[in-house]
Structures are given as C-alpha cells and as structure tokens.
Structure 1
Amino acid sequence: MNIFLNLAMNRLTTSILFGVVWLALTSCSRKQDPLPWRLDTYLQAAQQHEQFQGSVLVATGDRIEYERQVGYADIGAKRLIDAETMFELASVSKQFTATGVLILAERGKLSLSDSLRHFFPDLPYTGVTLHHLLTHTSGVPDYEELASEKWDQSRIALNTDMIRLLAEHKPAPLFKPGEEWRYSNTGFMLLASIIEQVAGQSYGEFLKANIFEPLGMARTRIYNTRRSGEKIENYAYGYVSDSTGNRVLPDSLPAFREVYYLDGIQGDGVVNSTARDLLKWHLGLRDGKVVSAEWLTKAYTPVVLNSGKTADYGYGWSLRTDSVRGKIVEHSGSWPGYGTYIRRLLDQDKVIIILSNTQKYIQEAVEALVFNEPVEMPARREWVDPPSDLSPWVGQFVSLSESDTLVFFAKEANLYSKYESLEYQWRYASDGRFYLEAQPGLAFGINRSTSKDEPYLVVRSVKKPLRKLRAVF
C-alpha cells in the first residue's frame, strides 16, 4: 500500500486531536477467544477518544469471527449503530461499478477495448477505452474540479450534467491513455453512465437486478441522500468535526458544500450497504455467483502501463501481495462523514470490513490485531509548537517494509509532506511526534533512545520503520 497514494484516494477532512500510546496486546493471557478481546479493547479506546464509530466485521470462510458496532447512527436522536445500519460506501462503490461492466462484457454486451467516444462522441478524449477507465489510466480530467468552477452549486448535478460540462469546456487530458496511473472519480462516473446505455436501465436498477438481489443483499442500494428526498430506516448519518471539535453534519459547513451539489453523481460512490451485506458480496464473488473466475482474474490483475511498468490496481480493486498474508484485494472509501474499507485476503479466505460514519480509518490496526500483532492504542494528545530545528525530520525516507518513498520538507516553521501536486501539513504533539493534520491516524516519529536516530511512521496504529536516504531542504 502506498501511504500517500491511499490518501490521494480519499477526500481530506478537518483534523481532530489524536495521539497514541504503545500497547502490545499479544501478551494478553485471557481465557476467552483472544481475537474478540483484542478488537474490543481497541474499539473501546478508539470510541472513547472519538477516533472511530461504526461497524467492524471479520470473517474467515463463511464464519463470522468478529462483529461489533460502536457509536451512534444518529447522534441527535441517540440512535445506536447496529448490524443492520446502512452506510454510504463512497469509493468502495467502485468495485460494484467495475463488476457491472464485467458482467456486461462477459455477456458480450460490450468490450473492455471499446472506446469512450463510442458511447460519448462529444467528449474530446481520444484513445480512451473502458479498460483505461476501469484502471485509472485514462487521463480524463477531474469532473469535481470542473464542477467547483463551472457548475451552479445551488443545483444538484447528475452524471449527464458532468458529461455535458466535459464536452462543453473540454479540459485538457491529464496524460495520454495508459501513460500513467492516477486515481479518477471521473472514470467511474462515466462507467456508470455506460452501464445505463448498454443495459437500457438505470445504474441502480442494473446493480439491484444483477448483484444485490441475486446475492440476498437486502440492505444494499443506490441512495442519493439529498436528491431523492427519501428517508431510509436505520441509516447512519455521516458526521464531520467543526472548528470546536463537535460532530456535525457536513451540510452545515461551507467547506463541505460538495455533499449537496455533487449528490446526484453515481458510479464513483453512492452504493449504500451494511457490513453483513458486504460479507455476502465477498462470498458471492468468491463462489463465482456474480462473474466467472476468468473475469475475476482480470479484475485482480495489476494494470500494465504503456512503459511496461505495473500499477497495483485492477478493475475496481487495489491489489497487493504480502509475504505472509498472500494476495489481497481491497478498497477504501471516503466522503465527508464516511470512511469505509473492505480488505479481502484471498489466500486466507478472510475478509475485513470496516464502515465508519465519522470518516475515520482503522483498517491497518484491525488487520494487525486479527493476526495477533502489536498495535498502538488510541489516546488524546495536545498540539504544541514544533521544534525550532526540523532538520532531523526533513528529507527523503523509505519504508523498510513497503518501499514507500516519503519526502518531508519545512515551510514557514512547519513540517509538510508532498505527494504528486498535493502538500500535507503535519502537526507536532506533546508526545514528540508529528501527526498528519488531515488524517490523524498517521504519525511520524524519531526514536532517539539508541545511538542514532531511528525514524518511523505509524500508519493507523501500526508502527513501520523508515530509513533516511538523504536530506532535502
């Protein structure tokens, strides 16, 4: 997993105070099943320090090994989250869009080599195929940026509106098809509209008839919360933090106005579901009830760029292979108020599902606890002024375990990191570590208890050593 690539896949939210203390849970000697005890201990601490509320499910094969819900689906009404509470999945929806395309391809209704302009001839992006859209290698520009500049934000936009804006304003492609990998919500918005063209029915109707109903996913559906005006029973409202740290609906804050005017867009998000339904989804894919093993193999194959290099993404899935855990297909989702994750460990026949309605991410810690590995427990920390000398923290670092290259630099007496064109500010806490302001689950520290500095990164409660390659000023 590329740490900053994962961040780029998610919308950033306002930071809240976050800190950690080290606790090795592997030393516990409880008589009961240690997995529930480990996860319960972690979730209780995370809830206590307002770093998670939501639903967690872990299953091996057909058996649920752990399931728990913490916190409120509706804070105002004090309505608790339960096993049937429905969440917005955000970008976890992309795997459903991708699978919808694969279903049509397997039936011979379309080909992954079909041109984008075959379906939308007014779009100016030549050489783009469905394969490029599915793998984030199309170079088609970001519709969200275009909407923020050209769309009347008092109106809720639909896919057709964004396609029309792309045709009218013709923003330049980001790169030639297949030249690069860059995460693209636009690609999956276009794929949803292509499904509608080919299937002759709405995106939601197609997924319901071909995925949700056949798999018995009764609590899964397409739901544009503001556009439809429909109220769903037992729904988890998504919350963000205001300037005082209080949890509020994103609609109340101007910084999150996109939750209204982009509410009509489908394909890159707006599948809503429960943890139990996502388990049915996982098992349905495993058992070949949705598409054949041949097509799933294609979905789980890293895309090859024009240069011959590969990117760790297939058709709607992020991909990685771990020396211990084996082949993993996964995806995160992020939208103001929601943070979601499904991690499928194919060789272990195991799935980890995490749904949050406060946009918090704990999947690295949960996976570590599932495999009886130590994690850091959530705790609250106080922000303080950073050291006057940031030179030990500034430079190019490489992760020993994942080969991520991280570049930190100083600007205006603060510490920043950079991924592509995005800069991320890190804040200094009283425990002597920097925390990513937008994602408090990431911490950057230096262990000075030895003869030399030993830098490390904490990725959502899992400690990962770093090695400094060179200083960068």
Structure 2
Amino acid sequence: MTSENKLEKLEELFSYLTREKMFNGCVLVSENGSPMYEYVNGVAAIDQSKQLTKDSRFDIASVSKSFTAMAIMILKEQQKISFEDVLEKHLSNLPYQGITIRNLLTHTSGLPDYIDWFEEKWDRKKIATNKEVLELFLKEHQPSLLFEPGDKWEYSNTGYILLAEVIKEVSGLTFEEFLESNIFGPLEMHHTQLLSRRINKDSLELAEGYIYDRENDDYKIPDHMDEHRYVYFIDGVRGDGAINTTAKDLYKWEQAIYANVLIKENTKNEAFKPAVLTNGESLGYSVGLHPDVEAGYGFGWSIENSSQTGKILSHGGYCAGFHSFLIRYVETNRSIIYLSNVDYLDFYDNKIHHDIVLQIENILFDKEVKLPSFPVSNNISSEIKTS
C-alpha cells in the first residue's frame, strides 16, 4: 500500500470514529522518520466550551515511565549511578535489601503497588506526594515483597516513585528540575510539563479528562466519582506518571530516543532488552501491545517481537479520563502516538482505545482493517479495504 493509500485509510478511519463519538483526542502517525498523519478532534474543556488543538496537553500517565527511565540512564552515563546499585546505596532507612536500580526499572523488584493501599487508607481530601508514599506506605506499613527481586515480574508504580527519589538524591535537583534541564529543555519540548493538575490549574492548554456516559450523553469529571477519586489524591506523586504533553512533543521525544540525542547507543540498548528473570525467562511474563504475542519489559518499555510487524517497543498510559499509547516499530521506522482525554462509564467500552491503535497498525502494515465498535454495538462488521 502506498503512503497515499495509507493516508486515505487513516482519514476514513478517523472520520468514522469522529462520527460515532469514539475518539476525542489527538493522534500522530509517522513513517520513515516523518509524520504522515496527524488528527485532532473533540472537547478540551466543556465548562469553557474549549475544543482540542494540536497544542492541547494530555496527561500521559504511565507513558511517563520512559522519561523516568531515561533520567536514570543519563545519570548512569554521568557515572553517578549503576543499574546494579542496590536501592539502599541511595535511599536510606527503607526496610528492603537487595533491590537494584535494574529491578525497579524492569518491575522485577517485588514491591507491591502503593495505589490500592492509598485507596483504602488515605484521606481522599488530601493530595499525596512521594514523601507520603515513602513514609507511610514503605516505612510505616512496610508491605512484604511479593517475591524475591528478579524472580518474577509484577508491574509496580511504587518502583518508579523510588526511581524519582533516587534521581533527586543523586543529582541534587528536584525530579521536575532534572527532567526540564536534561530532557524537556534540550529536546525543545516546550509544551511538556511534569505537574499536579489539581494544583497547577492555570497551566496553559491543558485538556481536561472526562468520563463519558454514552447512554445519557453526559460527560463526568472523574474527581467527583468515588471509583475514580484516586486521580485527585495521588495527583502529587512523581516518577510513575504526571507528565502532560502534546502529540508533537511526544514525537520529538520518540525521535530523539532513536537518534541517540540524549544517551549513547549502548546505553539505549540496555533499555530495549527485556529483563531476564532468575529462571532465565525473558519473554512471556509481561503484556505488550498484542495479548497473543509473548512480551518482556525493559527500562520503561514493553518489548515484543511480532512475526508480522517485527520488534515493537510500546507503553500505554491510563488514569481516569485519559488514555495514551506510544508505540515504535523498530525495524520499519514507524510510530503511533495516541492521546485521548475521554474514557467511558462502562469499563468494557474502554477497550475501544486499544482497538483503534490496532487498526492504525493494520493500516500501516497493509493488513485487514475492521472499524472498531463498542461491545454493545458489535454488529458493525464494516471493513476498510486495503490496497
């Protein structure tokens, strides 16, 4: 399929998604190192009758982890840290021994996630910070490790909060200052911030996150919904999320990584190798873009090898009201950046975000494309013919 054909299919796909109220956000698709398609649609702030633009900033949630990992790699090249350093070398008074920086980067530390505990124990009227996670969850509560470091894989936001604290301790800068001076500034990511949305309410071009009730055609604020209240009370936590950015800035980020602008090739390659567990397993323990493809996890990236698309590096981000994907097809020099500021009241409707990304991939790789549909509307069987 020619580039012109792909562009036509992408336009057809997003025309359909817009018409069916399935996409509110911004998408950027690149091929051969250049953007080939960028599309923005929908509401940015209902109370201000404000529409999204290409400069609208989205909360990318866990996609932020790739920035935290990069900060660690920069410090490694500055010879201020080693991936094999144990945590206690840089952070004292924690009740854990033998967890390495590599374990934290690859989610093999065994540390349980802090969010469930905060859901149950924290005063939901207050905004927690890294300090509370360290003092209340790790030092006072002292949860047991889920397994010995390196034995298994278990996604842990806690590990990335600790990495942010290590960066602060080793560099002498706040986490925000380090990202700004070493990543955002050098890459001219002028529309990117690490911030607390509930505190920095006046930040320019922030897209608000919404939960859409399709049945009643109503947009809800997640802060006001008990099941999504966590977006308020963990808004001060750093390292595992909280970066707000645009599709264009994320494209600068993605391109800079592969051009080795910030770090050397051999350091970057460390990030893109799946962690090897103590039993020798390097794939199959994690989940990537395709549930049916065995995946591993590197430094802030899911890693999978598909027979149809080659090596894929990806990460998704979710917090109530926001969905994001950053995907790189290594061998074909293609990428997908997907940002949405609307979730759905029905939990199962939210798989639409993943379905949309897979259909973009199908267009890029000249595969059959099926128009996405919500679970309750799965009678839609229309296809976009590939050529």
**Normalised by the shorter chain, which TM-score bucket?**
0.7 to 0.9
Q: 2:160 aligns with which of 158, 167, 188?
A: 188
Report which stretch shifted further, 135-144 or 67-76: 67-76
- CA displacement at 1:37 relative to structure 2: 1.8
SS at match of 1:204: helix
Match of 2:306 among 319, 322, 340: 322
Computed over aligned residues only, the root mean square deviation of the Cα atoms, in angstroms, reads 2.2
SS of 1:321's partner is strand
Aligned partner of 2:252 among 273, 276, 280? 280
Q: Sequence identity of aligned pairs in percent?
A: 36
Secondary structure at the aligned position of 1:209 is classed as helix
Equivalent residue, structure 2, for 1:299: 271
Amino acid at match of 1:302: P
Q: Shift of the alpha carbon at 1:245?
A: 5.0
8 A contact 1:45–1:378 mirrored in 2 = no
Letter aligned with residue 346 of structure 1: V
Instruction: Name which of 345, 350, 362 aligns with 1:368.
Output: 362
The answer to whether the Cα contact below 8 Å between 2:304 and 2:311 also exists between their aligned partners in 1 is yes
Please say if residues 309 and 365 of structure 2, whose CA atoms lie closer than 8 Å, have aligned partners that are also in contact: no
Give deviations 1:346-391, integer Å, cap 9, x for gaps. Answer: 2112211111111433211111122232222134664xxxxxxxxx
Give the aligned partner of residue 239 of structure 2: 267
> Structure 2: which amino acid aligns with 1:121?
S
Contact 1:141 1:173 in 2 (8 A): yes
Whether the 8 Å CA contact 1:49–1:380 is kept in 2: the answer is no
Aligned match of 1:167 in 116, 120, 139?
Answer: 139
Paired amino acid for 1:156: I
Q: Quick check: 297-306 or 40-49, which moved more?
A: 40-49
- Counterparts of 1:281 and 1:229 in 2: how far apart (Å)? 23
Task: Judge conservation of contact 1:344–1:350 (CA < 8 Å) in 2.
Answer: yes
**Change over 3 Å in CA distance of 1:144–1:32 after alignment to 2:** closer
Any gaps of 5 or more consecutive residues in structure 1? 1-25, 383-428, 433-457, 463-473
- 2:66 alignment partner in structure 1: 95
Out of 328, 335, 340, which is 1:351 matched to? 335
TM-score, structure 1 as length reference: 0.72
Cα separation, 1, equivalents of 2:322 and 2:83: 31
In the TM superposition, 1:61-460 aligns within 5 A as 61-165=32-136, 166-226=138-198, 228-242=199-213, 244=216, 246-311=218-283, 312-359=296-343, 360-361=353-354, 362-379=356-373, 382=376, 431=379
Counterpart contact for 1:49–1:378, Cα < 8 Å: no
CA distance in 1: counterparts of 2:373 and 2:276, whole angstroms? 42
Structure with the greater alpha carbon radius of gyration? 1
Letter in 2 for 1:332: G
Relative distance call for 1:106 and 1:381 in structure 2 (3 A) is closer
Q: Which amino acid aligns with 1:154?
A: K
TM-score by length of 2: 0.88
For 1:364 and 1:86, the matched residues in 2 are separated by 23
Choose 240-249 or 150-159, whichever is displaced more. Answer: 240-249
Bigger share in strand: 1
Cα distance, 1:154–1:50 mapped onto 2, change above 3 Å: same
Partners of 1:298 and 1:229 lie apart in 2 by 35
**Which amino acid letter does the alignment assign opposite residue 202 of structure 2?**
K
Give 3-state SS (helix, strand or coil) of 2:223's partner: helix
Gaps of 5+ in 2: 284-295, 344-352
Post-superposition shift, 1:276?
0.7
Give a deviation string over 1:205-247, Cα, whole Å, max 9, x none.
Answer: 1011101111111111101101x23412222111113484522
- Alpha carbons of structure 1 residues 267 and 259: separation in structure 2 relative to 1, 3 Å: same
Q: Hey, what's the Cα distance between the residues in 2 that align with 1:336 and 1:430?
A: 24
Aligned to 2:350: none
Contact kept, 8 Å, 1:45 with 1:379, in 2: the verdict is no
The structural deviation recorded for 1:32 is: 9.3
Q: More helix by proportion, 1 or 2?
A: 2
Contact 1:89 1:273 survives alignment (8 Å): yes
Measure the CA separation in 2 of the matches of 1:241 and 1:56: 19
Question: Which amino acid letter does the alignment assign opposite residue 212 of structure 2?
Answer: S
State the AA in 1 paired with 2:185: E
Question: Aligned with 1:91: secondary structure?
Answer: helix
